[in-house]
Structure 1
Amino acid sequence: MNSLIIKLQDRLNGLFPGLIVVGTIAAAAGFLSLHYKAPVMLFALLIGIAFNFLATDERCAQGIEFSSKKILRFGVALLGFRVTLDQILGLGANVLLLVPILVLSSIAISWFIAKLMGRRYLFGLLTACAVSICGAAAALAVASVLPNWKDRHRDTLFVVVCVTALSTFAMIAYPILFSVGGFSDVEIGILIGATIHDVAQVVGAGYAVSNETGDVATFIKLLRISMLPFIVIIIALLLKGDDELGTISPKAFPWFALGFALCLIVNSIGFIPQMLTGFLADVSQWFLVFAIAGLGVSTSLKSMMELGGKSIALMVLQTVALLGIAVLAVSTDFI
């Protein structure tokens, strides 16, 4: 018993300095986001990058790595408290059919675009999932089950930065674009929820049009988020026997994806008070901020910029492809 306590104390002592660094960055990001009305994850990324020199400090390394891996997985699991089965089923049969088709076809087309542009197999899959499902959260979740490759942290951080920037641009441009296109408020809500990558920007864009648009956009986005655990598990299983990519051990199985599904079910049943589910949803958000801050500290800006404009062009093309699929579905009265 004493040896277990000693090991636990040693573990905590090893994690503490890095967690203090990441926690401070997360708190600063939250303060700036509150006062300047910009995405908290973007601030966490930028501040984290500024403290990259701490990634090589032995005192901080363990806590930073813990934040970018373990805390990340808990954050993704707790995302389940942001959506209920009633919300998903209430969207109607056509919408329930549209979103999985949209997500899967977007992933396939996005990966194909990456292949045509000569990008690494794993990088193409990472960008495809980030664009098609739920932005930064999807990038972090998918990256955690992909086999290791050189500059993995750099590539993941680049995707998070790029997808956040694209979401912010879309939040401003898409409501104008869809209104000019003559779509109804409900159709605009469907398009916004189906095409903007991150939740916060979906909410901002939707309610900028109307309350009805905001409600529809949020529900569509939550349905896209509900696809995350299934996609993560499918990716893990598909890569398991791939000799080129390596194998995934039982420890690497995405149990957090099952945790997401469990949280969704618990939230849907109403077993715990709404105040508590709201609190857990907020905890999920802050866990993800911690994870992104940890990734930011782990990756230098110089190495990230080495990816160049070709990678940015890739994610822009993937975003345009997702937009085209969604507009086509709505324009052809699929819904």
Structure 2
Amino acid sequence: MRFTDFLRANGQGFFVAAVVAAAAQFLSEHYGAPAMLMALLLGIAFNFLAEDGVCKPGIEFTARTVLRIGVALLGARISVELMIELGPHLIAVVVGGGVLTILFGLLCARVLGRGWRFGLLTGGSVAICGASAAMAISAVLPKNEHSERNLIFTVLSVTVLSTLAMIAYPVLTEVFEFSDETSGVFLGGTIHDVAQVVGAGFSVSEETGDVATLVKLIRVAMLAPVVLIISVAVRRYGQAETESKRPPILPMFVVGFLIFATLNSLGLIPMIAVDAMSELSRWALLVSIAAVGMKTSLKRILEVGGQAIGLIVAETVFIAAFVLIGVALLGH
């Protein structure tokens, strides 16, 4: 397809999603609302544009391809140096909390009869990096009639829970009289979204903010291996449940994530480029979540039910308790 034809087919849908994302960013900057949450809610309000008409192909492209670009660019924020700074014991707590939260989500979803897809989606989003992880994991899961509804529910839930945690968790660090380092590990190891981790951390102190951001980026680094494992498992065991074509062993956006993380670890990406790629990634994810919102109606989200809300709250409590106990046992 020629570029002009591609632009004609997808440009209008992408432009609408970009305008919604810009409006969400404006609300975030001027009224303190989470940008991801605003993009999602505003997108849902424009659901009619994705049902039919000239915008539909562009909205589909934005929700799928722009999302993958945003996740790939996240890799530029990761480096081996980050891991070394935190130390092996705290890394073990952070990574262990993430892995066990995913397994906890799978187990609870099975008990509640919600299906393994939903358990992976919610558990992975809570364990890793909130909305970004939810969208990345959703991209490699086999699709069914509930896929988009479950994704929207998960993004909405983790964003709201992150915002509540950003307000409540710093208070907990004062109640428990944590040191700045311990507070940073707790906040970075438990709050779902990066922006809320930064907000919570720096509301305590500068050192807490630095440590919290570092811990959170280590959780973000788990995104590539988790998506890879899910992709391989789906390719091997998930075919009986879906008629879609076999997914690639290593999705291209995960390859991109790993390449950028490797280049950054080797010091081959200048800091100015890292900052630019991080900002581009943020905008790509913001625009894509607006498009995902457009593809889902509010009525379908409400069909998820109270069990699903209970599941994602339970996962949030689980990872918070695990990290809190782990830090206490290490004597930090």
TM range (shorter): over 0.9
Report the counterpart of residue 57 of structure 2 in structure 1: 62
Larger displacement relative to structure 2 (243-252 or 256-265):
243-252
Report the counterpart of residue 254 of structure 1 in structure 2: 251
**1:16–1:63 Cα contact (<8 Å) kept:** yes
**1:53–1:297 Cα contact (<8 Å) kept:** yes
Task: Give the Cα–Cα distance (whole angstroms) in 1 for the partners of residues 207 and 164 of structure 2.
Answer: 22
The CA deviation at 1:84 is: 2.2
Normalising by structure 2, report the TM-score. 0.95
1:204 is aligned to 2:195: no
The CA deviation at 1:309 is: 2.0
The answer for unaligned runs of 5 or more in structure 2 is none
Provide, for residues 119-157 of structure 1, a one-character-per-residue CA deviation record: whole Å limited to 9, x for no partner: 122111100100111100000000000001112111101
Q: Of the candidates 156, 163, 174, which is equivalent to residue 161 of structure 1?
A: 156
Amino acid at match of 2:316: T
**2:71–2:253 Cα contact (<8 Å) kept:** yes
Report the counterpart of residue 134 of structure 2 in structure 1: 139
Report the counterpart of residue 103 of structure 2 in structure 1: 108
**2:187–2:197 Cα contact (<8 Å) kept:** yes
Q: Of the candidates 229, 244, 255, which is equivalent to residue 240 of structure 2?
A: 244
Amino acid at match of 2:320: L
Task: Give the Cα–Cα distance (whole angstroms) in 2 for the partners of residues 272 and 326 of structure 1.
Answer: 32
Report the counterpart of residue 33 of structure 1 in structure 2: 28
Instruction: State, as a whole percentage, how many aligned pairs show the same letter.
Output: 44
1:268 is aligned to 2:268: no
Report the counterpart of residue 320 of structure 2 in structure 1: 323
Provide, for residues 237-265 of structure 1, a one-character-per-residue CA deviation record: whole Å limited to 9, x for no partner: 01112243347625584221121111112
1:309 is aligned to 2:306: yes
Task: Give the Cα–Cα distance (whole angstroms) in 2 for the partners of residues 306 and 160 of structure 1.
Answer: 15
User: Aligned residue pairs: how many?
Assistant: 330
Task: Give the Cα–Cα distance (whole angstroms) in 2 for the partners of residues 141 and 157 of structure 1.
Answer: 13
Classify 1:248/1:186 alpha carbon distance in 2 versus 1 (closer, same or farther; 3 Å): farther
Report the counterpart of residue 85 of structure 1 in structure 2: 80
Report the counterpart of residue 94 of structure 1 in structure 2: 89
**1:145–1:253 Cα contact (<8 Å) kept:** no
Amino acid at match of 2:189: A
**2:228–2:249 Cα contact (<8 Å) kept:** no
Amino acid at match of 1:25: V
**2:94–2:323 Cα contact (<8 Å) kept:** no
Larger displacement relative to structure 2 (304-313 or 315-324):
304-313
Report the counterpart of residue 284 of structure 1 in structure 2: 281
Report the counterpart of residue 42 of structure 1 in structure 2: 37
Task: Give the Cα–Cα distance (whole angstroms) in 2 for the partners of residues 106 and 137 of structure 1.
Answer: 17
Amino acid at match of 1:255: M
Q: Of the candidates 95, 118, 121, which is equivalent to residue 123 of structure 1?
A: 118
**2:153–2:301 Cα contact (<8 Å) kept:** yes
Classify 1:248/1:329 alpha carbon distance in 2 versus 1 (closer, same or farther; 3 Å): farther
Task: Give the Cα–Cα distance (whole angstroms) in 1 for the partners of residues 195 and 154 of structure 2.
Answer: 17
The CA deviation at 1:202 is: 0.5
The CA deviation at 1:203 is: 0.6
The answer for unaligned runs of 5 or more in structure 1 is none
Normalising by structure 1, report the TM-score. 0.94
Provide, for residues 70-90 of structure 1, a one-character-per-residue CA deviation record: whole Å limited to 9, x for no partner: 000010010012232212221
What secondary structure, in the 3-state scheme, does the structure 2 residue paired with 1:182 have?
Answer: coil
Query: What is the root-mean-square deviation in Å for CA atoms of aligned residues?
Result: 1.6
Classify 1:208/1:35 alpha carbon distance in 2 versus 1 (closer, same or farther; 3 Å): same
